[in-house]
Chain A
Amino acid sequence: MSKSNFTRRGVIKTGAVGGAALALPQYLRADGHAGFTNAPGDSEVVLGFNVPQTGPYADEGADELRAYELAVEHLNGGGDGGMLNTFSSKVLDGTGILGREVKYVTGDTQTKSDAARASARSMIEKDGAIMITGGSSSGVAVAVQALCQEAGVIFMAGLTHSNDTTGKDRKANGFRHFFNSYMTGAALAPVLAAQYGTDRKAYHLTADYNWGYTTEEAIVSSTEAMGWETVNTVKTPLTQTDFSSYIAPVLNSGADVLVLNHYGGNMVNSLTNAVQFGLREAQANGKNFEIVVPLYSRLMARGAGENVKGIFGSTNWHWSLQDEGSQAFVRSFGTKYGFPPSQAAHTTYVQTLLYADAVTRAGSFAPCAVAEALEGYEFDGLGNGKTLYRADDHQCFKDVLVVKGKENPTSEFDLLEIVEVTPVDQVMYAPDHPQMGGADASLGECNNGA
């Protein structure tokens, strides 16, 4: 009969000593106690892509995710390198970020602030994501940006157009490449005045949430500065699908322009209803009645079909741009997925590259070092010409595209034509502009987390 030498106490002691010995190298590792949240190991770094995979903006979210995957592929040295070849900064060499292979986790925002915060929190706490990026809604972006500020990680905003993201709700850990409502107003108003004259009366239908308010405010203010009059502004519920009750009174209101401050499905339905009610063919005040859609996206234009023809709006980027950076991105994306990228895909791809570049230039993943590298950074070759990441509010300043629905599209992607590239000087504003939260708006302190 054999006798075992193991005792319960002995096993616990051995286990504790062994565990501590195994944990020691982890603790002593370079960034293991670097004083910031989710410091990466030596071999890999995890990014968190938080996009709407379900809900009304799921198509935008899917395109964002494609772009993120392409960016990760390029950062890790795969594919043709895309915009890494045209980016003015040359520190990214296809070996990941600071020599660490880029890995990613994804979350579903469902286009709901609480769900988006929950998925971002899970990616930070469970998956060790060091940077969160994504979003197809300003409500979501503002909510997730605040969470990242508290958690001490960088937030690189995806498609969010509300002034508030880098206006009254700006945060030191948050950065936005996409343009905003103010820029739309500043770029669009002169084109509208040139096309339709300065003696116009506008009627606004506005989505009843954060983005709708700032867009309405921006368009009202910049068109009134051109001499237009605002006849009425009506808020429409975000869940509305049939806008007939809102469209029907427009023609009889004395207005001769309808501005649809709607995005996604709202815009598709309100524009369709407006066309059905004959607004495109109507005459008012002795002029042709006109419709304006301030924020356009190709995915939306596709949804609205023929109804977008000849209608003016603005966009952050379009695949038909002929600069080197845009062409490189369209080639990479188109070859991989078979169709051109949307503006949502473009901004998220660029944000990932900008983050990787900032980390490399800073030589550290520490959020405050990365933020410092991004602040006041000027770059080129990423599709929008010369661009500045302004230090005061973490907003990118670049040219804005004014577009209109194409009359004779040659393919299902060829729906918008660029009417004007508005120079950046025309869309620039002071960091304490009243539409951006005024003098009270502040980035606060950068947070490295624990």
Chain B
Amino acid sequence: MDQIIVQILNGLDKGSAYALIALGLTLIFGTLGVVNFAHGALFMMGAFCAVILSRILSASYKVVDESQTDFLGNPLQVDVFYVQRWFGDAAGATIMDWAVPLAILFSIPVMIGIGFAMERGLIKHFYKRPHADQILVTFGLAIVLQEIIKYFFGANPIQTPAPDAFKGSLDFGVWLGYEANAIMYPYWRLVYFFFSALIIAGVFAFLQFTTFGMVVRAGMADRETVGLLGIDIDKRFTFMFGLAAAVAGVAGVMYAPIVAPNYHMGMDFLVLSFVVVVVGGMGSLPGAVAAGFLLGILESFASMPAVVDVLPGINQIIIYLVAIVILLTRPRGLMGRKGVMED
């Protein structure tokens, strides 16, 4: 039983990431009708916002320390961090330690800006083109973005740790009456889960309870009529693209301490996120979120040694198997709407 609880917990944070990416994908598809294959790259760019801010906060200058030598026997050049020089040793160290949470604030304007630039500069030219063209151009864009990141940051993963306050694990099992070490769960993954829940709730609240959100929902339902009412729906949809980029971005920032960012991480999530969107139902925001968590948890279960021993390789195909079964029984996905991508 304890193993099942462990895998449910694992699935929740994996599912959170899938849900956040799929939410953004669905927002873009629902508003602009574009299948955005560059969305995984936006998640990766978000993770690199954490890396970049961490590097900015760790900016330093060299001071020669004659008492020590470097690997060539020359006097050692010691790094002195600017933040420690400006704010004192303790405050400076704390600022550097909290780079990832601070990167959320840094990433939101950056990602909205990237989203705007992508939509206005490239994707808007493809609105009236077939979906295949949109897929090709956004996939190409994803490759360009990841190659840019690789050029500047290299191919190896870059450690971006969570603040010291969140290091270590919660012994969840003790709360439930199990022995110590039975169900361990890292604090940062709990933070990630609650953070995701907050973001998802925020996006839903924004669409549900604001006038702006109401207009966007109206536009998603019938773009032409909203346009005829004199509302500039295109401008609002562009904003939604920026918002979707920011959601993917903050998901990436918070994910950086869980899996060290590398240039390829977006692609790893992209394919799975598309499966999540399709299983959830094209254009359905609640469907995307529900399918994200469902598939995250199933993937975790399929990775249990007991399961893999019986069905080798099941951990790599479970998501696709479930997708096939769901699409055969419910062709529009779990919560798909009639008429979406059916013309």
Contact = CB atoms under 8 A, between A and B. Distances in A.
Interface of A: 54-59, 232, 234-235, 237, 239, 241-242, 244-246, 248-249, 251-253, 264-265, 268-269, 272-273, 276-278, 281-284, 299-300, 302-307, 319-320, 330-331, 334-335, 340, 410-411, 413-414
Interface in B157-208: 157-159, 161, 167-169, 181-182, 184-186, 188-189
B17 to A, nearest CB: 9
A283 B181 contact: yes
Nearest to B308: A234
Interface string B252-280: 00000011101011001000000000000
15 contacts: A56-B264, A59-B154, A241-B265, A242-B258, A245-B304, A249-B6, A249-B305, A251-B182, A265-B156, A268-B157, A278-B168, A282-B184, A303-B158, A305-B161, A411-B70
B159 A305 contact: yes
Contacts of A264: 156
B159 A272 contact: yes
B299 interface: yes
A57 B262 CA distance: 12
A237 B72 contact: no
A241 B304 CA distance: 16
Contacts of B169: 276-278
A418 B308 CA distance: 38
Contacts of B154: 58-59
Interface string B1-39: 011001100100110000000000000000000000000
Contact of B71 (A252, A307, A330): A330
Most buried by B among A58, A252, A268, A276: A276
B76 interface: yes
A277 B186 contact: yes
Interface of B: 2-3, 6-7, 10, 13-14, 68, 70-72, 76, 150, 154-159, 161, 167-169, 181-182, 184-186, 188-189, 258-260, 262, 264-265, 268, 299-300, 303-305, 308, 315-316
B304 A268 contact: no
A405 B265 CA distance: 26
A251 B2 CA distance: 12
- 9 closest cross-chain pairs (CB), A and B: A245-B303, A58-B155, A278-B169, A305-B159, A276-B186, A248-B6, A268-B157, A245-B300, A303-B156
A252 B2 contact: yes
A278 B303 contact: no
* Most A CB within 10 A of own CB, among B7, B150, B184, B268: B184
A306 to B, nearest CB: 7
A237 B316 contact: yes
A282 B71 CA distance: 36
Contact of B184 (A59, A237, A277, A299): A277
Contacts of A320: 71
B235 to A, nearest CB: 37
Contacts of A273: 258-259
A341 to B, nearest CB: 10
A232 B305 CA distance: 9
B72 A335 contact: yes
A282 B169 CA distance: 10
Nearest to A55: B155
B296 to A, nearest CB: 10
B10 A244 contact: yes
A302 B157 CA distance: 9
A244 B185 CA distance: 10
Given A241-B259, A272-B159, A340-B71, A284 B181 contact: yes
Contact of A268 (B70, B156, B303): B156
Most buried by A among B68, B150, B181, B316: B181
B184 to A, nearest CB: 5
Contact of B260 (A234, A245, A249, A303): A303
Contacts of A272: 159, 259-260
A303 B299 contact: no
A306 B161 contact: yes
B303 A331 contact: no
Contacts of B315: 237, 245
A408 B206 CA distance: 49
Given A245-B300, A265-B156, 18 more contacts: A54-B155, A56-B264, A59-B154, A59-B155, A244-B13, A244-B189, A249-B6, A249-B304, A249-B305, A252-B3, A269-B259, A272-B259, A277-B184, A283-B181, A300-B156, A306-B159, A331-B72, A411-B70
Nearest to A307: B159
Contacts of A251: 181-182, 184
